[in-house]
Amino acid sequence: MGTVRAGAVRAVLIDIDGVLTVSWKPLPGTVEALRTVREAGLGVALVTNTTSRTRASIASTLADAGFPVTAEDILTAPAVTAAHLAARYPGARCALLNSGDIAEDLAGLTLVDTDVDVVVIGGAGPEFGYDALDRAFGHLQRGARLVAMHRNPYWRTDAGLRLDSGAFVTGLESAARVEAEVTGKPSPAFFAAALARLGAGADEALMVGDDIESDVLAAQRAGIAGVLVRTGKYLPRTHREASGTPDHVVDSFADLPGLLGLGPV
C-alpha cells in the first residue's frame, strides 16, 4: 500500500455511507481511525451525497456511534444545493422530489408544487413513484431547470445495494431533453466548498470514498489525491471498468492512518 509523504496532507475529505458506516452502523475500525486522524491535527470534512438527513441529524447519529464529529464537520449535498440555488436562481420557485426531511438544510428556498422554476431531485425512495416523476417531467416540459443533488445509481445498505436517484435523473434528462445541474459529488464546486471550509489547497488534501467515479476520480480531477476503499458500494467490476485509476486503494478506512504514516501500514 505504501504511505503518503509525511506532512503532505493537511486535510482529509471523507465520504460517510459505505466508508465510515453502512446503514449508519460503524464499519470495523473506522471510529478509531477517525480519532487517530483528528488527533494528528489534520482537518476533517465529512462530504456526503446523503439526502435523507440533515447535517445535525447525521452528526448526532455519528457522535452516538463514537465518531468525533459535529455538524460543522459535515457538508451535505442538500446544503450545497441550497447555496447553489440561492446564488444562481435567487427567488426561484422549486419543486423538491426527495426521500427524507431535509428542510433544515434547504432554508431560504421557496418550495412549491405549481408554477415551478426549478425541479430539484434528491435521494430516491418510495416517493419516486410514477405520479411524482410525471409531475417533474411536466415541469421540465414547461421550461423548469433540472438540478440534481447527485446522480448516484445505487448505494449500499445492510440489505445490499439499493436503487438511488441517478437512474431517475437520467430518465428525466432523456425524456425532457434537458441536462441536470449536479450540485453534490462529483461536482467540482462540492469539493471546492469542502476545501474552503478547511482552509486547505487541493494539493494538501485526500478524498476517501467507496464510489470510484463520484468520490475518488472526481476528486482527482479537482487536484485532490484520491483513496478508494473496498467497502460500501465498491465492486471489483466498477473498479476494473472505471474511467481512471485511483491514487491509492485500501481495504477499509481503518487503513487510512497507516497510509498517512500515522500507524502500522
Give the tens place of pLDDT for each residue, 37-56.
Answer: 999 999 999 999 888 888 99
pLDDT over 70 percentage in the chain? 97
pLDDT at position 4 is 72
pLDDT band of 208, cuts 50, 70, 90: very high
8 pLDDT above the threshold of 90: no
Residue with cell 452502523: 25
User: Exposed, middle or buried, 32 (CB in 10 Å: 0-12/13-18/19+)?
Assistant: middle
What does the block give as the cell for 180?
441536470
pLDDT band of 191, cuts 50, 70, 90: very high
If one counts every other C-beta atom within 10 angstroms of the C-beta of residue 71, the result is: 16
Please state, in angstroms and rounded to a whole number, the distance separating the CA atoms of residues 169 and 186. 15
CA angle 52, 56, 57 (to 5 degrees): 45
265 pLDDT above the threshold of 70: no
Q: What are the pLDDT digits (tens) for 79-123?
A: 999 989 999 999 999 999 999 888 888 988 999 999 999 999 999
Please state, in angstroms and rounded to a whole number, the distance separating the CA atoms of residues 142 and 116. 9
Please state, in angstroms and rounded to a whole number, the distance separating the CA atoms of residues 6 and 166. 38
DSSP three-state, residue 88: helix
What does the block give as the cell for 150?
447527485
pLDDT at position 2 is 56
What does the block give as the cell for 69?
464529529
CB neighbours of 261 closer than 8 A, spacing ≥ 6?
3, 4, 6
Q: Are the C-beta atoms of residues 121 and 168 closer than 8 Å to each other?
A: yes
Please state, in angstroms and rounded to a whole number, the distance separating the CA atoms of residues 116 and 139. 6
Question: Which of 111, 166, 164, 167 is CA-nearest to residue 139?
Answer: 111
DSSP one-letter code for 17 = B
The amino acid present at 52, given as its one-letter code, is S
239 pLDDT above the threshold of 50: yes
What does the block give as the cell for 82?
441550497
- Tell me the CA end-to-end span of the chain in Å, nearest whole number: 7
Q: Are the C-beta atoms of residues 70 and 38 closer than 8 Å to each other?
A: no
If one counts every other C-beta atom within 10 angstroms of the C-beta of residue 100, the result is: 16
Average pLDDT over residues 201-220: 96
pTM: 0.82
pLDDT at position 52 is 83
| Partners of 32 in the β-ladder | none
What is the chain's mean pLDDT, rounded? 93
Identify the helix (H) or strand (E) that includes residue 219.
helix 218-221
